[in-house]
Amino acid sequence: MTETTGKANLLGMTQQQLEHFFESIGEKRFRAGQVMKWIHHFGVDDFDAMSNIGKALRDKLKACAEIRGPEIVSEDISSDGTRKWVVRVASGSCVETVYIPQGGRGTLCVSSQAGCALDCSFCSTGKQGFNSDLSAAEVIGQVWIANKSFGTVPAKIDRAVTNVVMMGMGEPLLNFDNVVAAMHIMMDDLGYGISKRKVTLSTSGVVPMIDKLAEAIDVSLALSLHAPNDELRNKLVPINKKYPLDVLLAACKRYVSRLGEKRLLTIEYTLLKDVNDQPEHAAQMIELLRDVPCKINLIPFNPFPFSGYERPSNNAIRRFQDLLHKAGHNVTVRTTRGEDIDAACGQLVGQVMDRTRRSERYIAVRQLNGEADAPHSANRT
């Protein structure tokens, strides 16, 4: 477990929360902006480095506050430029963050939970069960660490991270408050100034929280669809038993329409050989998405030991893509990146501390999935 200090961690505070913090210690609200810039623009974690803050306040801050990101366990760089960090969070578990450079863009795939309770059958994270939610500091800390690692601070305009996808380990909508706070910091000019179009939250379909998200923030939304009918999706993405496709797509359409601009839902579809990659699946998908404003991202499955699934052949992938294209869809196939450092999609495993730990919330989620409360480890490899 990571040592707790009892001090307020300023890293995960939004501007509003920092203003309240400064008021609570008898200081002016404008200090929030100064400190945020030091933390997020300059990557500073030492109050003594904040040269526009007087010594008395710096000493006061040192006594009651800290700037602490997750602990870096390892950083690997792939031959294709992809980077992967393993970081340890307060629960003692490790989670992974992946940076994917492409053209002038640098996309950071950020984790929201250690492990995941939703148990999607093809997902290596799901195989570990749920351990803990990440704090807001641990979520935004992954962006902070990546930018610092590239040495692109303090040059704010040249930041390495231009896009963030909440697609790492965990279901972000089940860690709602912390993820939303972190995304506000990503978008805030005092934070990372990333456009709302370039911050994307990916969900497997926690319907009530999609509506709640629309009231809280206007980031882009991605849906981990993975199956074009309820029968198959119930097997691949068990939360579908609670929130079937008609209810789920209605919620996604509500979300995207509330954005009020030409914003599209991203559909993520992991292609599994002979499971969901056949022409009839493409036909069902075309029908399902007939009136959904979306773009489709096909993700050829990245095998991991004992997954029980295989990657389709290149011909099968192309055939599936062509069928969707011909129906008028904007379809891309995600190129596998960072395979040599196990950073490819679906390969993020981190290291959950206690694989048998079952929090009350974990049990609640299993019930939410409509599943008997059987030991989760029964499905594990």
Among 120, 252, 341, 368, binds ligand SF4 (CB under 6 A): 120
Burial class for 123, CB neighbours closer than 10 Å (0-12, 13-18, 19+): buried
- Which of 96, 138, 171, 268 is the catalytic position? 96
Q: Which of 39, 57, 123, 249 binds ligand SF4 (CB under 6 A)?
A: 123
Contact segment (CB under 6 A) with ligand SF4 among 118-126, 247-255, 294-302, 349-357 equals: 118-126
Q: Does 119 bind ligand SF4 (CB under 6 A)?
A: yes
Min separation Cβ 239 and ligand SF4, Å: 7
Name the residue nearer to ligand SF4 (CB basis): 83 or 127: 127
Applying CB under 6 A, which of residues 19, 133, 138, 171 lies at the interface with ligand SF4? Answer: 171
Closest CA to 236 of 162, 309, 143, 337: 309
294 as an active site residue: the answer is no
What residue spans of the chain are helical by DSSP H?
A: 15-24, 31-36, 55-64, 136-150, 176-187, 207-216, 230-236, 245-258, 279-288, 314-326, 360-368
Structure tokens at 372: 């008997």
Residue 154: is the preceding peptide bond cis (ω within 30°)?
A: yes
Nearest CB to ligand SF4, comparing residues 58 and 311: 311
Q: Report if residue 238 touches ligand SF4, rule: CB under 6 A.
A: no
Task: Report the residue number, 236 or 324, with the smaller CB distance to ligand SF4.
Answer: 236
By the rule CB under 6 A, 133 interacts with ligand SF4: no
Q: Which is nearer to ligand SF4, 32 or 109 (CB)?
A: 109
Considering the rule CB under 6 A, would residue 206 count as an interface residue with ligand SF4?
Answer: no
Q: Is 112 in the site for ligand SF4 (CB under 6 A)?
A: no
- Scanning 51-59, 83-91, 165-173, 290-298 for contacts with ligand SF4 by CB under 6 A, the matching segment is 165-173
For the bound state, the minimum distance from the C-beta of residue 261 to ligand SF4, rounded and expressed in Å, comes to 27
Q: Which residue's CB atom is positioned nearest to ligand SF4?
A: 126
Give the nearest distance from C-beta 17 to ligand SF4 in angstroms: 27
Q: How far is the CB of 313 from ligand SF4 (least distance, A)?
A: 23
Site string for ligand SF4, 66-85 (x = CB under 6 A): --------------------
Exactly one of 10, 100, 110, 116 binds ligand SF4 (CB under 6 A); which one?
A: 116
Rounded-to-integer distance, Cα 203 and Cα 174, Å? 9
Residue 85: φ, ψ to 5°: -110, 140
Is 127 or 337 the residue whose CB approaches ligand SF4 more closely? 127
Output 345-348 pairs: Cβ under 8 A, ≥24 positions apart.
Answer: 345/167, 345/270, 345/299, 345/302, 346/122, 346/123, 346/124, 346/270, 346/299, 346/301, 346/302, 346/304, 347/124, 347/302, 347/304, 348/95, 348/96, 348/98, 348/109, 348/111, 348/124, 348/125, 348/168, 348/169
CB of 224 to ligand SF4, least distance (A): 6
- Piece of the chain touching ligand SF4 by CB under 6 A; list 28-36, 119-127, 141-149, 260-268: 119-127
Q: Write the interaction track for ligand SF4 spanning residues 174-203; mark x where CB under 6 A is met and - where it is not.
A: ------------------------------
CA distance 319 to 323: 6
Angle between helices 314-326 and 279-288 (to 10 degrees): 30
Say whether residue 218 binds ligand SF4 (CB under 6 A).
no
Active site residue 96: yes
H or E segment to which residue 308 belongs = none
Packed helices 207-216 and 245-258: angle between N→C axes, nearest 10 degrees: 10
Q: In this chain, which of 126, 141, 228, 300 binds ligand SF4, going by CB under 6 A?
A: 126
120 contacts 365 by C-beta, under 8 angstroms:
no
Which residues have C-beta within 8 Å of that of residue 100, sequence separation ≥ 6?
Answer: 82, 106, 107, 108, 109, 337, 338
What value, to the nearest 5°, has the Cα angle with vertex 288 and ends 287 and 293? 105
Which residues of the chain form contacts with ligand SF4 (CB under 6 A)? Answer: 116, 118-120, 123, 125-126, 169-171, 204, 224
Catalytic positions are 96, 345
